[in-house]
Structure 1
Amino acid sequence: MRDPELPASVPDFFIAAITFAGINLVWIFFVVWVMYGMVPVLVLAVLINHLITRLDIRLNARKA
């Protein structure tokens, strides 16, 4: 049974979560750049891109 005190609709926090993740990535990349240089930042960016691509392929395969 539904709790009558809960709101009828729940807000969508997807855009906020993506924005928050992007802001965090910027400062993490900056700290890695200052500490180790540009090459580790590029390697980290390629690794994150690869993981996102694999996740996208897995989620699309599950839908099909």
Structure 2
Amino acid sequence: MCVSCGCGKVNDNHGDSRNITQSDIVTAAQAAGITPEQAAQNLMDTCQQMSSGSQKQSPRNTNTRER
């Protein structure tokens, strides 16, 4: 879906590149050397941390290469 609004159109950014799409998640996962599912889980975890005010938690990244 357009991850930003939840419309269900997976790669429609509605003409605004600031909206997150499935393609963005796939590309970000490739950059991190993880699966898109792992990237999505990391996003969900981060959102939960932001909601709870938590500052830092180890990311779920099985890639050991340095960034």
Query: What's the TM-score, normalizing by structure 2?
Result: 0.38
Query: What's the TM-score, normalizing by structure 1?
Result: 0.39
Larger RCO: 1 or 2 (CA < 8 Å, sep 6+): 2
Query: Which has the larger helix fraction?
Result: 1
